[in-house]
Structure 1
Amino acid sequence: MNYRDRWPASRLLAAAVAILILVSGGAVTAIGFALNSLDKQRAVVLDQIGPARRLVIEMDAALVNQETGLRGYALSASSDFLTPYTRGIEAEENAARGVTSALRTTRPDLLARLAETRGIAQDWREQYAERLIAQVTENGQPQPGVGGTTVGKELFDQVRRSVNQLQADMTRDVDAARAELDLTADRLLWLCIALGTLLAVIIAGVAVVLHRILIRPLATLAAQVREVSEGDYGHAVETSGPRETVMLAEDVDAMRRRIVSDLKDLQRSNAELEQFAYVASHDLQEPLRKVASFCQLLERRYSGQLDARGEQYIQFAVDGAKRMQVLINDLLAFSRVGRITREQTMVDCGELVDQVVDSYSEVITKTSAVVTHSGLPTVRGESSLLSGVFGNLISNGLKFHGEQPPRIDIGVERTGKFWTFTVTDNGIGIDPEYAERIFVIFQRLHHRDDYPGTGIGLSMCRKIVEYHGGTIWLETAESPGTTFKFTLPVVEETGDKR
């Protein structure tokens, strides 16, 4: 594997991100132009032509009110009828100003037609309406025919035609603006659909490319690492892909090679340890047995000929040799845990504890002890090793008791994927500061003359429990007495008890 001629993953990711940014930028720009055009068309419809057309309709109504008021005044000579006329003129002025404000910068042609319409309306007022009002006011009598009704009608018809034409022009412009607005909205919709489709295609393409150049090599590397982690240390780890992935594969393979080398060293060390165990169990113990035997022969041969101190020295030698044998045997047993393995089977902890209790029946009877347990589960493990855990904990409870008869209670509860066993006694207890020291091999808290033993029992318990995938600790919050807790994995019921 040569990673120097490969692209780094960071550059590949940067290229993919750049493509997405360029496409997204183009999409945003195009949509921005479309939205700007849509906003302009909306302004034409809602802010310019539309309001102006409504004002022209109001101006038309104001002119009609002027004509109606004028006619009523001419027929009745009552000044009340002039109110619609004067208010119509005011409404016409307001509507014209509104139209002018709405169309000032965009539609000069419509403003010219508006001015023309207002000129015709002004001619009608000057040539007919104002003269008729003056005549009726001067005479104080109705003047239905004064001023020429035909002339007034012709002039006002011109006004109405001009207004209608202005309304028609504005209606046509509003319809055209609405059509353009709908067209722009449709264009924007299709543009969004097209851009969305394009982005989806680009993202899918980038995803496929990234999968081929990043995800697939990583998945291949993960599969090979998993194969090595499952025990196939001879499998070489290699993969293709970007520079970082290839470098990672080389590092993992280098680690695999180191593990293989260390494993060989470990196997060689285990072989040497096996040889040492053989020597310790045979060659070393033979001289100890001879020392103990000949010391005992000296004691019997010269019994009564040595003084008390000489006999005491011989007893010390015999006792030391025997204790050395016990220590060697315990050390060998400790070294065999996890090294010399047997097939793990389903172990009924209830039956196992009954067997342990039965083996201590003499001590239990002698001390009037009580050992209880309930609901202990079935776990997978080596029966002889687990028996050693319960045996050591029960033995400690029987050994380190107070004035009251020993009482040992064994319980269990499930905590997730583990069984948590609790072994509680009413003995002398352990100071919390020694919670870790007690699990160190050959560590004792009491003199051997007070309590027999080598101090390896709890070390054996920890090694056995950890070998079975659990942990063990001293529960320092419990008092009086001593409480040990340890965990073992839960085995789901499958019907297979082997």
Structure 2
Amino acid sequence: MDERMGPGWPLGRWYLAVVVVMVLVVAAAVGVGAWGLHGLYVARALVVDQIDPAAREALVLSNALVSEENGLRGYVLTGRQDFLQPYHEGQQQEAQAVQVLRGLQTGDLASASASLDAVQRAADQWRAEYAAPALAQASAGDIERGKALFDQVTGALRVQETQLADARASGRAVLNTAADNLIVVGVVVVVTLLALILLLSLLAHYGVVRPLSKLATEVRLVADGQFQRKVSGSGSREFAGLAADVDQMRLHIVNELDTLQQVHDELERSNRDLEQFAYVASHDLQEPLRKVASFCQLLERRYKGQLDERADQYIAFAVDGAKRMQILINDLLSFSRVGRLTREQVVVDCNDILEQAKANLGTMIEESGAQIEAGPLPSVRGEPALLTAVFQNLIGNAVKFHGDDPPKVTLSAERDGEFWTFTCADNGIGIEPEYAERVFVIFQRLHPKDAYPGTGIGLAMCRKIIEYHGGRIWLDTDADRGTVFRFTLPVVEEEQDQ
């Protein structure tokens, strides 16, 4: 067993137990319900199919015997044969009713057969001792004797009616009891199912929702930065195992963060040392380089034409190399100062920044006949000198790397949420998409030095300045013509609140 799963039943076993209990309860409820329905069916069959029809046939039998007695009495008193018709019809009805009653008086109603036997015995005695002699002699005979015998018949009929009424009342009571039992069974089943549903809901809450909410809260606290907070699970074994896995992941992240922090600290220290080295190296090289450049220029002015042509060429190479080295050192010095020698950031109008950059590039713009167009530019927060360097480098590159047509540079800005997106587009020679990242690497050049002047630091400095101000810069590789650079700068806080 995985030790991380923790003690106790797993969640699946809890749910299986609840489902088994629910199935057993439902099966028991179905069984009890079936028993109740069977009792209701039996009681209904007894009342509807036996007792009620027997009561009706008992009434038919009673009416048939009364018809026999009335017909016989009319015949013996008047001697008319037509009075015998009710007598004979009554005998037929009596026989049919007795046959039906014999078929109905079975099972729980079998006890009523005795009363039917008593009725038949009394009726047979009445016919044998009074009706048959009266019909044979065509006289009333002993009327009192006949009346007494028929009273025995009516008494037996009343006993039978009373017995059937009692059976009907008993059947009705059984039927009502069965109906009440069925209602009770239904209520018990519904209450039991509701209790099981409540139990399942409580199990879901305490076994799933509550532990999951607790785990989510602890994970959210860790995600918010409390990496030293241990993630502990509760509830079923699955959640305990999940919490243990998450805590293992937390520990792994903590270890990774510690390692990354150490690497970051070392990298920052290395960067500071490198920047300090670049600054010191470039600063300390200024003086000897100025001397080399100055004396090379003096040699060029003083001895130009006095030596042979090759000597003049060598001197020219030395002067050019000293000048380019001086430019490179100055650019490297400026690059190393970005983010190191900070000044207070203020809200500056980018239109003023653009004008300053154009003024710095005045000679280049005038000589190339460049056309600089710009839409309304926003105000941003930053160091004016550094932002001027960004505009100056982007416009200077657009003018420098122009094609056959006079350079045309277009600048614009649009707001995108909490950032301004600036666009600098030109009609120059363009940059291939595969060099989209290489152009921002320091000292990386895409053209020979004799084709286009420069040190390869300009765009690297632009990226460093933009990232120092909280934005980013990239080459738009979807441009159809020329080169399009885009960079973002945060919206001024006052404008964000509007």
Matches within 5 A, 1:333-352: 333-352=334-353
Partner of 1:183: 184
Letter in 2 for 1:32: V
1:4-36 deviations in Å (ceiling 9; x for gaps): xxx965215x64637844763575266336523
Partners of 2:278 and 2:332 within 8 A in 1: no
1:427 maps to amino acid:
G
Contact 1:49-1:173 at 8 Å conserved across structures: yes
Q: Which amino acid aligns with 2:6?
A: R
2:485 aligns to what SS in structure 1?
strand
How far apart, in 1, do the equivalents of 2:174 and 2:383 lie? Answer: 96
Q: Tell me what 2:285 maps to.
A: 284
State how far apart, in whole Å, the 1-side matches of 2:181 and 2:441 are.
90
Residue 32 of structure 2 corresponds to residue 31 of structure 1: no
Aligned pair in 2 of structure 1 residues 208, 438: CA closer, same or farther (>3 Å)? closer
**Cα distance in 1 for residues equivalent to 2:483 and 2:121:** 121
CA distance in 2, matches of 1:63, 1:482: 114
Partner of 2:322: 321
* Correspondence for 2:399: 398
Structure 2 counterparts to residues 89-128 of structure 1, below 5 A: 112-116=107-111
Judge conservation of contact 1:56–1:163 (CA < 8 Å) in 2: no
Does 2:458 align with 1:457?
yes
User: For residues 396-442 of structure 1, what are the alpha-carbon distances to aligned partners after superposition, in whole Å with 9 as ceiling and x for unaligned?
Assistant: 22223334443322233344454333222223333334333333333
Matches within 5 A, 1:296-375: 296-375=297-376
- Partner of residue 34, structure 2: 40
Query: What is the alpha-carbon distance in structure 1 between the residues aligned to residue 117 and residue 416 of structure 2?
Result: 99
Matched to 2:11, the amino acid is V
Q: Secondary structure at the match of 1:284?
A: helix
Deviations 1:240-291 (A, max 9, x none): 8576576556545544543454354335424422431233222233333232
CA distance in structure 2 between the aligned counterparts of 1:60 and 1:379, rounded to whole angstroms: 107
Q: Equivalent of 2:6, from 11, 18, 33?
A: 11
Give the corresponding residue for 1:171.
Answer: 172
8 A Cα contact 1:16 1:206, kept in partner: no
Residues 181-214 of structure 1, C-alpha deviations (whole Å, 9 max, x = no match): 3333444455456556666666666689958996
> Any conservation in 2 of the 1:389–1:461 contact (CA below 8 Å)?
yes
1:73–1:391 Cα change, 3 Å: farther
Write the distance in 1 (CA, Å) between the matches of 2:66 and 2:354. Answer: 122
3-state secondary structure, aligned to 1:476? coil
- In 2: Cα distance, 1:171 partner to 1:51 partner: 11
Identity of aligned residues (%): 39
What amino acid is aligned across from residue 25 of structure 2 in structure 1?
I
> Aligned with 1:280: secondary structure?
helix
Which shows bigger deviation, 434-443 or 209-218? 209-218
Hey, what's the Cα distance between the residues in 1 that align with 2:391 and 2:34? Answer: 88
Aligned-CA RMSD value: 5.1
Partners of 1:217 and 1:245 within 8 A in 2: no
Name the CA distance, whole Å, in 1 between partners of 2:266 and 2:300. 49
Distance 1:215-1:408 versus aligned 2 partners, 3 A rule: closer
Structure 2 CA distance for partners of 1:319 and 1:20, relative to 1, 3 Å? same
TM-score, normalisation: structure 2? 0.69
Separation in structure 1 between the aligned mates of residue 476 and residue 272 of structure 2, nearest angstrom: 38
Distance (whole Å) between structure 2 residues aligned to residue 396 and residue 72 of structure 1: 134
Residues 128-175 of structure 1, C-alpha deviations (whole Å, 9 max, x = no match): 89xx9xxxxxxxxxxxxxxx9978866765665454444323322222
1:59 matched residue in structure 2: 53
Contact 2:338 2:465 in 1 (8 A): yes
* Pair 446,264 (structure 1): closer, same or farther in 2 beyond 3 Å: closer
Q: Please report how far the alpha carbon of residue 317 of structure 1 lies from its aligned counterpart in structure 2 after TM superposition.
A: 1.5
Q: What amino acid does structure 1 have at the position aligned with 2:172? A: T
Residue 314 of structure 1, CA deviation? 1.3
Contact 1:349 1:379 in 2 (8 A): yes
Answer yes or no: is the 8 Å Cα contact 2:33–2:186 preserved in 1: no
Larger Rg: 2
Q: Distance in 2 between matches of 1:359 and 1:64?
A: 130
Contact 2:279 2:336 in 1 (8 A): no
> Are 1:239 and 1:245, in contact at CA under 8 Å, matched by a contact in 2?
no
Partner of 2:141: none
Q: Could you say if the C-alpha distance between residues 429 and 184 of structure 1 is closer, same or farther in structure 2, counting changes exceeding 3 Å?
A: same
What CA distance in whole angstroms lies between the structure 1 residues aligned with 2:338 and 2:106? 106
Distance 1:275 1:451, change over 3 A: closer
Shift in CA distance, 369/156, structure 1 to aligned 2, threshold 3 Å: farther
Amino acid at match of 2:395: I
Residue correspondences, number: 452
Aligned to 1:407: 408
Could you tell me which runs of 5 or more consecutive residues in structure 1 were left unpaired when the two chains were aligned. 1-6, 97-109, 133-147, 227-236
- Contact kept? 2:402, 2:427, Cα under 8 Å: yes
The question of whether the paired residues in 2 share the 8 Å contact of 1:220 and 1:239 is answered with: no
d(CA) in 2 for partners of 1:441 and 1:265?
22
Aligned 8 A contact 1:41 1:180 in 2:
no
> 1:479: how far off?
1.8
SS across alignment from 1:313: helix
**Contact preservation (8 Å) 1:369, 1:406:** yes
CA-CA distance at 1:293 after TM superposition: 1.9
Paired residue secondary structure (2:6): helix
CA contact (8 A) 1:439 1:462 kept: yes
1:140-159 equivalence runs, <5 A: none
Aligned counterpart, 1:104: none
125 and 346 in structure 1: CA distance in 2 versus 1, 3 angstrom threshold: farther
Alignment of structure 1 residues 451-490 onto 2, 5 Å: 451-490=452-491
The one-character-per-residue Cα deviations of 1:444-483 (angstroms, maximum 9, x if unpaired) are: 3333333322233223333333444444333233222222
| Alpha-carbon distance change, 181 to 287 in structure 1, aligned in 2, over 3 angstroms | same
> Comparing 347-356 with 202-211, which one deviates more in the overlay?
202-211
1:21-71 CA distance string (max 9 Å, x none) = 476357526633652355235523665434654444773587489669979
Compared CA separation, residues 30 and 343, structure 1 to 2 (3 A): farther
Q: Match of 1:284, as an amino acid?
A: L
Structure 2 unmatched ranges of 5 or more: 72-81, 128-148, 234-243
Residue in 2 aligned with 1:429? 430
Give the partner amino acid of 1:395: G
Letter aligned with residue 277 of structure 2: F
**C-alpha contact 1:23 1:199 (8 A) present in aligned 2:** no
Instruction: Give 1:273's aligned residue.
Output: 274
